Amino acid sequence: MVLRTNGLTKRFGGVTAVDDVDFELGEECCSLIGPNGAGKTTFFNLLTGVLSPSAGTVEYRGSGDYVDITDYDPHETALAGIHRSYQITNIFAASTVLENVRIAAQAHGDGDAWRAWRNVDAFPEYEREAYDILDRVGLADDADAVAETLSHGEKRNLEVAIALAGDPDVLLLDEPTAGVSSDGIGALTDLVEDIAEDHAVLLVEHNMDVVMEVSDRIAVLHQGSLIADDDPTAVRNSERVQDAYLGGYERGEATGGDAAGGEAA
């Protein structure tokens, strides 16, 4: 296991968004599912230092023993080796595709982050890394394009590319197929499967066809609590999960989360 939580809890006033969650992530693709408001994005924010927990700990094991990273800020968490994408596309729209990834790679480089906006030719090592990543996500031919000219699906791929910069051990993907056309979902699914070959991946996703296809394991949050954590078949057949979220899901059918859009917590 590379990442784990112990009793992780987050309260917002009288609302408990994440409730005493014990969770472990190994070298696998684990999907985190649940209805809107279940606490999935809050859980991501706790793992990456965007939010501080009300109780509990987050621990990360890179090349050695577990380290308590509960109090790390987002930059420290990213430098440790945990990167993420977001529900809402988060790119430098006016910069080229290459510059978006090169800047991200440099931000994780040794002492070069403060020089991120210098010309790409000044940092050939980051340029090479950026090209390699763009090739992996299928955007190498668009390296010189301005990011805002990409299709929505291509922007999602670019965001994954940015998250891959700096060679993280753990990748947290927050609804990567949101807003992507049916034609683009297959390519994104293939990309997630490819990334999971050499990264630990935690995926928040409402498209259950994607979840069932890519996941080694599925964890289910409901009202902030972890109500299931098992292989896809067991989770799909769980009466408790069916009642809380899946509602008799069959392949090709949307879940309640698809219709409702993103969650607040």
**pLDDT tens digit sequence for 192-203:** 999 999 999 999
Residue 262 has pLDDT above 60, yes or no: no
Residues 160 and 176 in one domain: no
The CATH code of the domain that includes 208 is: 3.40.50.300
* 159 & 183 share domain: no
Closest among 230, 261, 253, 181 to 24, alpha carbons compared: 230
Under the banding of pLDDT at 50, 70 and 90, the label for residue 257 is very low
Which pLDDT value is given to residue 216? 97
Write down the residue that tokens 């928040």 correspond to.
204
User: Same domain for 113 and 191?
Assistant: no
**Domain final residue, candidates 104, 137, 166:** 166
Tell whether 174 and 257 lie within a shared domain: yes
Interatomic CA distance for residues 143 and 161, integer angstroms: 12
**pTM as predicted:** 0.86
Same domain, 212 and 191: yes
Judge if 258 and 176 occupy the same domain.
yes
Residues 63 and 188 in one domain: yes
pLDDT, position 121? 59
> What domain range includes position 101?
94-166
Q: What pLDDT is recorded for position 261?
A: 37
Which of 166, 193, 209 is the endpoint of a domain? 166
**Burial (Cβ within 10 Å: 0-12, 13-18, ≥19) of residue 114:** exposed
Tokens, residue 146: 């301005």
- The residue from 166, 182, 210 where one domain ends is 166
pLDDT score for 264: 44
> Do residue 149 and residue 196 come from a single domain?
no
The number of beta carbons lying within 10 Å of the beta carbon of residue 141 is 10
For the segment 47-73, the average pLDDT, to the nearest whole number, is 94
Q: Give the pLDDT confidence score for residue 119 in this predicted structure.
A: 55
Locus of tokens 């006033």:
13
**Which parts of the chain are beta strand (E)?**
3-12, 15-25, 29-33, 55-60, 67-68, 82-84, 170-174, 200-204, 217-222, 225-230
- Would you call 73 helix, strand, or coil by DSSP? coil
172 is a domain residue: yes
Residue 136 lies in a domain: yes
Please tell me whether residues 142 and 265 are part of one structural domain.
no
In the block, tokens 């034609």 appear at 183
pLDDT digits (tens, 9 = 90+) for 100-153: 999 999 888 765 444 544 555 566 889 999 999 999 999 999 999 999 999 999
Please return the burial class of 101, using the count of CB atoms within 10 Å of its CB with bins 0-12, 13-18 and 19+. Answer: buried
Tokens 């670019």 label which residue? 158
Amino acid found at 67:
V
Same domain, 57 and 126: no
- 162 and 172 in a single domain? The answer is no
Q: How many domains does the chain have?
A: 2
Domain contains 89: no
Q: What share of the chain is helix, strand, coil (3-state, %, to 5)?
A: 40, 25, 40
- What are the residue ranges of helices labelled H in 21-144? 40-47, 74-80, 97-107, 124-136
What the block records as the tokens of 6 is: 């112990």
